[in-house]
């Protein structure tokens, strides 16, 4: 067993390459200490790819609880990776799709439109 053949670290990748990576991958692990939002994790979940992420505020916001591991706990992360079987994979996929729907662009656009309408209706003309 050689982890260096099975684990790949990527920096920035173009959209086409990203889509190919998400299709070919079996798991996305992000043991990040800090994230602004975690867009790569959201994209992976939208593609139905299982994710395991550190328990930090940004990931708590977007990932289902089953995908979170304690920050810096490499033994817990290893146990979660080893425990990822077909049944847990399917259950996580369902949870991911439910989470991803919360961040659908149309929902955000409609929310912003409503905020603007409220702001404009309460503004007084000068």
Residue 14 Cα to chain centre, angstroms: 18
Please state, in angstroms and rounded to a whole number, the distance separating the CA atoms of residues 113 and 126.
23
- Within 8 A by CB and 6+ apart from 61, the residues are 37, 38
What confidence tens digit (pLDDT) does each residue in 67-117 have?
889 988 889 888 888 888 888 877 777 777 777 677 665 655 566 567 667
- Within 8 A by CB and 6+ apart from 28, the residues are 22, 40, 41, 44, 49, 50, 51, 52
What confidence tens digit (pLDDT) does each residue in 68-80 have?
899 888 898 888 8
pTM exceeds cut of 0.75: no
Q: State what percent of residues in the chain have pLDDT above 70.
A: 80
């Amino acid at each position: 067993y050689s982890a260096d053949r099975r684990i790949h670290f990527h920096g920035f990748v173009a959209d086409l390459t990203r889509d190919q990576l998400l299709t070919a991958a079996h798991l996305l692990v992000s043991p990040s200490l800090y994230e602004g939002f975690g867009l790569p994790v959201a994209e992976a979940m939208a593609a139905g790819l299982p994710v395991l992420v550190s328990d930090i505020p940004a990931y708590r916001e977007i990932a289902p609880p089953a995908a979170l591991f304690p920050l810096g706990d490499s033994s817990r992360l290893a146990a979660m990776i080893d425990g990822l079987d077909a049944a847990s994979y399917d259950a996580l996929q369902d949870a991911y799709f439910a989470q991803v729907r919360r961040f659908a662009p149309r929902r955000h656009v409609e929310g912003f439109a409503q905020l603007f309408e409220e702001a404009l209706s309460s503004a007084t003309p000068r």
